[in-house]
Amino acid sequence: MTDSRASAQASRPDLLDPATLSKLGGIEFIAREVVEGFLMGLHRSPHRGFSAEFAELRAYQSGDDLRYIDWRMFGRSDRYYVKQFEEETNLRAHLLIDISESMGWSSEPGVLPTKLWYAKHLAASLALILLRQGDSVGLAAFHDRVVERVHARGGRRQWNEIARRIGALSAEGGTSAEGALRDLAVRLRRSGLVVLFSDLLVRPDETLTALKFLRHHGHEVLVFHLIDPGERELPSASEARFFDPETDEELLVSVADIRSEYREAVSEALAEWQRKLRPHGIDYHVIDTDRPLSLALRAYLRKRERLG
């Protein structure tokens, strides 16, 4: 790693690997640091309302009253922001987090955080960005049923509530993403953005149908498919014991016999999700849990830019 890149990572937590990031503190602190680092890395605001405060500031637009420019923020960011005195809600976003037992797995326990750790911190960071844009954010967590729910609202108090609820989530139960998605769809009276955080160890056909159901009802959908690096490649040992945490079933196999077939099967499974989701306008991103959170946050910004 070059000195300049090392310096950038030291000053931008969003570029840190999750193992290092997990040692910095609790979920609220990490989310704030990740978002500040991420915003610092943007050359310009990619969308109206993208600000460095909550709904109290928004990006300057031609014609805005110069009396309301926040010069303190200009000094910090070299970008113009204006103070706003009424909440401007542009979008309703709903974060849907898979907390099933498989999400609590890590290929390197004690070193690499679990898939659920990654999902929680990514969701918290995304919630903070959305709220800072003046959007409203809701939350639902599920395994084989929805077990946690926060109604979509905007503002500083909503961030505190969402961070508290996300921080308390733990991995448990089987997975029924399709049930949670349908439950969310029938409850939402206004179209918005639905973001799913899951390892997608689900019934694919039923889950695809539920995602299409959301699109049919006017919602934009963004799927973050979380993959532990240990799920992409088999270990170097001669034998491996496969364990399904949701069924307690085990299988001992020879690694050498199935290594290449396993790698191909994983690649094909990921490609299949892409092939099935893309034609329906559903954004799909594979996120490796050993990679910086900024990669997933950039995927969100690309999605948001298209929403206008």
Q: Where are the domains of the chain?
A: 3-83, 92-307
- Pick the range with the lowest mean pLDDT from 129-138, 221-230, 237-246: 237-246
112-147 pLDDT, tens digit each: 999 999 999 999 999 999 998 889 999 999 998 889
Residue range 246-259: mean pLDDT, rounded: 68
| Higher-confidence position of 87 and 240 | 240
DSSP SS3 for 236: coil
- Model-level pTM? 0.79
- Top CATH class of 92-307 equals alpha beta
- Could you read off the pLDDT of 198-210 as tens digits, one per residue? 999 988 999 999 9
For residue 227, which phi and psi values (nearest 5 degrees)?
A: -125, 125
What is the rounded distance in angstroms from the CA atom of residue 235 to the CA atom of residue 265? 16
Q: What does the DSSP assignment read for 221-233?
A: EEEEEEE-HHHHS
Rounded to whole angstroms, the Cα distance separating 120 from 44 reads 27
Closest CA to 180 of 96, 246, 116: 96
Instruction: Specify which of 57-61, 172-176, 273-277 reaches the highest per-range mean pLDDT.
Output: 273-277
Residues 6+ apart with CB under 8 A from 134: 49, 51, 54, 55, 58, 84, 87, 88, 89, 90, 154
Count the Cβ atoms, other than its own, within 10 Å of residue 73: 19
| DSSP 3-state of 83 | strand
Tokens 């300057």 -> residue: 60
Percent of the chain at pLDDT > 70 equals 78
